[in-house]
Structures are given as C-alpha cells and as structure tokens.
Structure 1
Amino acid sequence: MAIQYLFDENVDPAYANQIRRRNPDLVVLAVGELTAPSKGTLDPEILIWC
C-alpha cells in the first residue's frame, strides 16, 4: 500500500502542488479539495475519513 498524504487547510497549497509536480506517483490531497474533506472539518472527522 502506497503512502498517502493529506495536508491541513492551514498549510500553503503550494506545498501539495510542488510535491505532486515533483512526485506524480504520490497521492497528495489537501483539505478542501474535491476528493478530500471540506474546509472546516474537525480533526476527529478527518481522522475517521483517513
């Protein structure tokens, strides 16, 4: 199983974008993106989602 990353909504989106650009094989999501939890989701709910 590949390692997957989920960036918090308070992290600059440029980090996730750069990781995707440099390593397209990695799964990198950020809170607020289409397939990730929405912005404002509480940490316990994010942990359940993971």
Structure 2
Amino acid sequence: MQDVGLSGKDDPTILEWAAQEERILLTHDVSTITRYAYDRVRLGQTMPGVIEVSPDAAVGRVIEDILVLVECSQDGELEGQVQYLPW
C-alpha cells in the first residue's frame, strides 16, 4: 500500500482503491477487512476479492496456495469472495 500512497489508510479506502484498480487484495488483516469487504458486496459495490493470509502461516505454503489459486481461477472468479490461506 505504501507504493500507491495508501499506507495507514482505513480498510474501506483500501477496498475502494482495489475495486477501482480491479485488484485482488492480499492481506494479513484478518481482524477487520472481511467485514468491510462483505459490506461492499451487500451494498452492491464492486469487490474484486480478498485473500487473507494468516500471519503465522509458512511462507512457502502460502506461495503454493496463491499459485494454485491464480492458475485455477478465471478472470473475475474471485469477485465478491474472501479466501483464507493457507487452505
């Protein structure tokens, strides 16, 4: 988020940016972002997807799961979804 000037911004702002940029959000913020992501879906707003990664997950396992998710998903398939890694 630092690269695009969103460091320290609140979750709704980050989700809005992700929606405008058509980007899936990868985060360790498992405590709050899910609620805001599903709020966007409930309100009919664009939500390209969120991938929540457990902060204590093994990096290698998470990378493998992300690669599987990317390889097995079609464009837009994660729209409105929250995925939790590792599986």
The structure where helix makes up a greater share of residues is 2
Give TM class, smaller chain.
0.3 to 0.5
Larger Rg: 2
